[in-house]
Structure 1
Amino acid sequence: METSTEGGAAAPAGTEPAETTTRAGSVAESAVPAAGATTPGTTPAPVIPAQAPAPAAAPAASRRAPARPTSLSPSRAGDFMQCPLLYRFRVIDRLPEKPSPAATRGTLVHAVLERLFDAPAAERTAPRARSLVPGQWDRLLKNRPELAELFADDEDGSRLAGWLEEAGQLVERWFALEDPTRLEPVEREMFVQTRLESGLTLRGIIDRVDVAPTGEVRIVDYKTGKAPRPEYAEGALFQMKFYALVIWRLKKVVPRRLQLVYLGSGDVVTYDPVIEDLQGVERKLLALWEAIRTATETGDWRPRPTKLCGWCDHQEFCPEFDGTPPPYPLPLALPFGAAGSEEDTQGRMGPQ
């Protein structure tokens, strides 16, 4: 659940990247397909939780404090590729963003699908899943009281009722795409983290991990939007390949299948990665991280205008909208070749 076009600067329908799309029934639900692609010379093994537990939410004040980037997730990698200035606003300035009904609905649906697997297999029915929606919404409100702002002007409760009904419909549509009575996930909402040889730390949260009796691994991610158009094929699976890379580096197992379940359109997108795919993703991430480090040290975060700008919360700070970014909160490195004493340079350089 790491990334979604429903969060932050949301994408209009059909602008998400895509991959080969298949309809329900194209993938066996009880286990990952038997033919596998694993690291040569290794024995497939079930995925187990990463060494570090998921980090607890920090207090609001510390979330807003400026910070030097220390790791990379699929969401933040996507931010930088979409717009370096957006990355700065979210990671370094930590500017607040208003909750959106679409993003919050996605969070709610994910919570329902996660909790459904607490029930015995025979009780994982569509009516039961729908019945979880109100309770999970109450739980979400308790943990994030600011979400009440979404329906602050909903005097008669009709907008909230309609919104909850939409969430219920998305949950129910999932049953036409997968059969939860035949699934026993090894992990749900699994936090993963690994440190590459380069020193770059990769981290994220995987919606679901299935492991076949043969040891083959399937990574599954739920999307509450619609499946993207084919011309965005490569981008759609970037997040999933990111997770596959982390699993490979952690467990020495190449996941057999990556699966995106699009509840908005009723599509299932699958991809079977090989080692060369993951090596390519790692090279891309290393180049991306080097660009992020350079921007962090120089303060050169340039906006990259796209159609997604219309959904951005930070237009008032963006030069593309005649805004001015807040003062850069981190120490800057001297430009390459600039004159200055060693003491000046050391005083202005951030941690390496």
Structure 2
Amino acid sequence: MPTRLFVATPTKLLTFADCKRKYRFTYLESPRPPKGPAWAHNTVGGIVHEVLADFFGRWPAAQRTPDAVVERIRTGWRNEGFRDEAQSLEWRDRSTDMVLTYLRDSDPYYEPRGVERTVGFTTERASLRGRIDRVDERPARDGSGGTELAIVDYKTGRRPLTPTDARTSLAMALYVLGARRVLRRPCTRVELHHLPTNTVAAADHDEASLARHQSRAEAIADDAAKAEHHWKTGLTPTQADEAFPPTPSPLCAWCDYAKLCPQGRRVAPTKNPWAALEDPEPTLDD
């Protein structure tokens, strides 16, 4: 029988790499343990992503106006995670300004190659897939007269981004490989579009850098597959804690399962749900 491929997204792989206990709670426990309260910064990011997906992927050109953006954010706004109504309304207005500034010079007739596009590829050991915020098709920079793809990911965290962030992102590299496989076009370009500063952190991969990212993904997938096989043999709670230990770090302050992990709480007390709106968010590659 052929070896069964391990199926994963970049988020799943990075969760395993960052903290095996969180991986167990997220992907293996059934029923899944209850999460903590919603995070306000996730509410902001989620709504901004939804509006941009509508603008580029669902609305006809005639509807792509500032008034439509304002109305979409107003009607789609959620109060999850905010300190109070005043903070929620403040961030509704700030999010509106961010999106309008980002879209100010956009061509309403521009049609990306993909919006919220799922792509994937397989290796000898894993089946890797993910959903890309936006895939642009642009004139090839090599002068061939053809076209090439660029992977666009929207970011709404407070921390400014750099080309190094784009280049070292495992998720973005896997998106490149997936887009090549599914859309069958040349692709090396990755871009992090940071809405709070309206800047773009861009990088170009070569075959060597993509191979390194793929090797890293396969190595994580191999370890996760072994851990999942161990889980399926049936473990006592003590054995499960030993097989899926926590990795205490400052990121624990932002973990959805912090209340279930005393080791993490000792290292980093849990933040308020709105803390990332006032302090820099954790550095997460997802």
TM-score, length of structure 1 as denominator length: 0.60
Residue 181 of structure 1 and its aligned partner are, at CA, apart by 3.3
In structure 2, the partner of 1:72 is 8
Q: Give the Å deviation of 1:109.
A: 0.6
Give the drift of 1:322.
7.5
User: Does structure 2 conserve the Cα–Cα contact (< 8 Å) formed by 1:124 and 1:180?
Assistant: no
- State the Cα distance separating 1:95 from its structure 2 match: 2.7
> How far is the alpha carbon of 1:223 from its aligned partner?
0.6
Q: How much has 1:133 moved relative to structure 2?
A: 0.6
> Of residues 201, 205, 210 in structure 1, which corresponds to 2:131?
205
Q: Structure 1 residue 131 and structure 2 residue 71: aligned?
A: yes
Distance in 2, Cα, partners of 1:269 & 1:234: 6
- RMSD (CA atoms): 2.9
Given the two structures, how large is their TM-score scaled by the length of structure 2?
Answer: 0.73
Aligned to 2:7, what secondary structure does the other structure show?
A: coil
Q: Partner residue of 1:96?
A: 34
- What residue in structure 1 maps to residue 101 of structure 2? 173
Distance in 2 between residues matched to 1:309 and 1:223, nearest whole Å: 21
**Contact 2:161 2:201 (C-alpha < 8 Å) held by counterparts:** no
Distance (Å, rounded) in 2 between the aligned partners of 1:316 and 1:243: 33
Give the counterpart letter for 1:131 in structure 2. E
The amino acid across from 1:244 in the alignment is V
User: 1:71 is paired with a residue of what secondary structure?
Assistant: strand
Cα deviation, 1:313-335, whole Å, max 9, x if unaligned, reads 22232251489xxxxxxxxxxxx
- Show structure 1 runs of 4+ deviating over 6 A: none
Question: How has the CA–CA distance of structure 1 residues 84 and 273 changed in structure 2, closer, same or farther, with 3 Å as cutoff?
Answer: same
- The question of 1:185 aligning with 2:112 is answered yes
1:235 offset after TM fit, Å? 7.1
Report what 2:86 is aligned to.
Answer: 158
Q: CA deviation at 1:168?
A: 0.8
Q: How does 1:18-33 map to 2 (within 5 A)?
A: none
How far 1:252 sits from its partner (Å)? 4.7
1:282 maps onto 2:214 in alignment: yes
Counterpart of 2:18 (choices 78, 82, 92) is 82
Structure 1 counterpart of 2:135, one-letter code: V
2:202 to 270, 273, 277: 270
- Say if 2:158 is the partner of 1:226: yes
- What amino acid is the match of 2:39? S
Q: Distance in 2 between matches of 1:164 and 1:70?
A: 40
Q: By percentage of residues, which structure has more helix?
A: 2
Higher Cα radius of gyration: 1
Percent same amino acid at aligned positions? 29
For 1:17, the equivalent position in structure 2 comes to none
Q: Following the alignment from structure 2 to structure 1, what is the Cα–Cα distance between the partners of residues 39 and 87?
A: 14
Please state how far the C-alpha of 1:260 moved relative to its aligned partner.
0.8
Q: Secondary structure at the match of 2:251?
A: helix
The offset of 1:236, in angstroms, is 5.2
Q: 1:269 to 1:227 in 2, by over 3 A?
A: farther
Q: Which protein is richer in strand relative to its size?
A: 2
Structure 2 CA distance for partners of 1:234 and 1:158, relative to 1, 3 Å: closer
Q: 1:193 to 1:131 in 2, by over 3 A?
A: same
